[in-house]
Chains A and B, each alone.
Chain A
Amino acid sequence: MKAYINAHGIISPQRTFDGAFFENGLEEYTQPQMHCIEPDYKEFINPAKLRRMSRILKMGLGAASLCVQRGTQPDAIVIGSGFGCLADLEKFQYAMKAENEQLLSPTPFVNSSHNMISSQIAIALGCNGYNMTHFHAALSFENALLDTLMLLNSGDAQNVLVGGIDEITEQLFSITDKLNIWRKDNCSNKNLFEGTHRGTLMGEGAAFFIIGTKPNNGNPVQITGTHTFIDGNADIVSEAADFLGTLNLTIADIDTMILGRNGDAENDCVYDALENCCQANIVHYKHLCGEYRTSSAFAMWLGANILQRQQIPQCAIKRKSGKNNYSNILIYNHLNGTEHAFTVLSK
């Protein structure tokens, strides 16, 4: 069974929802939070439904709608999210405290459910098939992708809408900031990889894909495989080689690697061995979207575009090799050197 990316729709801190990112280049941020550039949702969401939706729901439904407009109606919906509808959860919990658990508004409670995004998309698209949301920290998107590939392989679905989504909230920033994981020096995302620092920029985004068993255009991108593992002492090169071996590929077959470096010295050293073990083009993406649990969905969107356009956006190139025909891309991301995820895209 082969799985093809037949459409994608993305809302991110770059101007990606309409493709202007590829003409305009990188959007600069000098604060530690990189918020999404959002479209006018009224163009694809019923205004009557829009008023009760929180920002993450609008982002999810907006990106999913863009994706379906460019692809086909899915018969299953699978989503990965690190934290789900966090802003509504915070709103509901604050109200519980403030109102002494009395007279609570139902809307933030309903919207705070973990599977609200996939449910709202299903209602909007009229998709009554398989509907699943995966919450597995930094492996959420890859587990959603794995679920999608299994659905397609079993024949239970022919076209699956799969997405990764997370949002920034002030409360999440404030709590995680106590761990000193965010930059405090007003570093520009343009300079994220300069010097040796601790901390990175917080990001968010919604990236959706229609994955089908048959290509729907003459320029198809294939998801060759995805693999996750949890290991604090992993030999990443050997893990990558073993995974590629299961796909009948070697590291030498990879012409481009998209790596999840985020400018934090302790985080980034995990990527060194993989980056140095080959002559592939090296692409970075977290200066474009920031760090969040499902940022690898942004990486997959970037990889799909590189393969389709046969061009790497200048602002994403870390190292250019002599390989100018892009046919096999390895995406690698990790969290805290413990949660690791590989995905291979092929042309």
Chain B
Amino acid sequence: MKSEEELINDLKAQIIEALSIEDLTPADIDADAPLFGDGEGLNLDSIDAIELVLLIEKQYHIHIDDPRTRRTILASVRAMAKFILENQKE
């Protein structure tokens, strides 16, 4: 299983591709910065949130059962990585 930092690097590249963020490289993304919100972090919106949930389901085969937890899971790249590590089967 990958370490948290390795997974964070993978996620950054996958987010850039899934959301077509052409102007950024993985190094430009702060793993602890908020992903959503006006003028904050990547400044993503609700459509992006659906794309990120699909990314987790497709790439890591983890289904997010409770939609209310999505806000926490998708708070930052590090939060996504922690959720994946906690829920990924060996």
Tell whether A51 pairs with B21 under 8 Å between CB atoms, given A107-B47, A110-B47. yes
Q: Pick the 10 closest A-B CB pairs, nearest first.
A: A51-B20, A106-B50, A103-B54, A103-B57, A103-B58, A106-B47, A51-B21, A105-B54, A105-B51, A48-B43
| Chain A positions within 8 Å of B21 at CB level | 51
Q: How many residues of A contact B (CB 8 A)?
A: 10
CA distance A110 to B23 in the complex (A): 23
Contact pattern, B 36-72, Cβ under 8 Å of A = 1, otherwise 0: 0000000100010011001001100000000000000
Is B22 positioned at the interface, with any CB of A under 8 Å from its CB? yes
| Chain B positions within 8 Å of A106 at CB level | 47, 50-51
A323 to chain B, nearest CB (A): 50
* Among candidates B19, B50, B58, residue contacting A51 with C-beta atoms closer than 8 Å: B19
Q: How many residues of B contact A (CB 8 A)?
A: 13
Residues of A at under 8 Å CB distance from B? 47-48, 51-52, 103-107, 110
CA distance A107 to B20 in the complex (A): 11
Number of A-B contacts (CB under 8 A): 23
Closest to B23 in A: A47
CA distance A105 to B47 in the complex (A): 9
CA distance A104 to B55 in the complex (A): 10
| Chain B positions within 8 Å of A48 at CB level | 43
B20 to chain A, nearest CB (A): 5
CA distance A140 to B19 in the complex (A): 33
4 other A-B residue contacts (CB within 8 Å) besides A51-B19, A107-B51: A52-B47, A103-B54, A103-B58, A105-B51
CA distance A282 to B57 in the complex (A): 60
Closest to B57 in A: A103
B18 to chain A, nearest CB (A): 8
CA distance A297 to B41 in the complex (A): 42
| Chain A positions within 8 Å of B50 at CB level | 105-106
| Chain B positions within 8 Å of A47 at CB level | 23
CA distance A51 to B22 in the complex (A): 7
| Chain B positions within 8 Å of A103 at CB level | 54, 57-58
Query: What are 23 residue pairs bridging A and B, where the CB atoms are less than 8 Å apart in the complex?
Result: A47-B23, A48-B43, A51-B19, A51-B20, A51-B21, A51-B22, A52-B19, A52-B20, A52-B47, A103-B54, A103-B57, A103-B58, A104-B54, A105-B18, A105-B50, A105-B51, A105-B54, A106-B47, A106-B50, A106-B51, A107-B47, A107-B51, A110-B47
| Chain A positions within 8 Å of B22 at CB level | 51
CA distance A104 to B50 in the complex (A): 10
| Chain A positions within 8 Å of B18 at CB level | 105
| Chain A positions within 8 Å of B51 at CB level | 105-107
| Chain A positions within 8 Å of B47 at CB level | 52, 106-107, 110
A151 to chain B, nearest CB (A): 32
CA distance A310 to B20 in the complex (A): 45
CA distance A106 to B50 in the complex (A): 7
| Chain B positions within 8 Å of A104 at CB level | 54
| Chain B positions within 8 Å of A105 at CB level | 18, 50-51, 54
| Chain B positions within 8 Å of A52 at CB level | 19-20, 47
CA distance A106 to B51 in the complex (A): 7
Closest to B47 in A: A106
| Chain B positions within 8 Å of A51 at CB level | 19-22
CA distance A110 to B51 in the complex (A): 13
A51 to chain B, nearest CB (A): 5
CA distance A57 to B75 in the complex (A): 30
| Chain A positions within 8 Å of B20 at CB level | 51-52
CA distance A33 to B50 in the complex (A): 36
| Chain A positions within 8 Å of B43 at CB level | 48
B89 to chain A, nearest CB (A): 18
CA distance A47 to B23 in the complex (A): 9
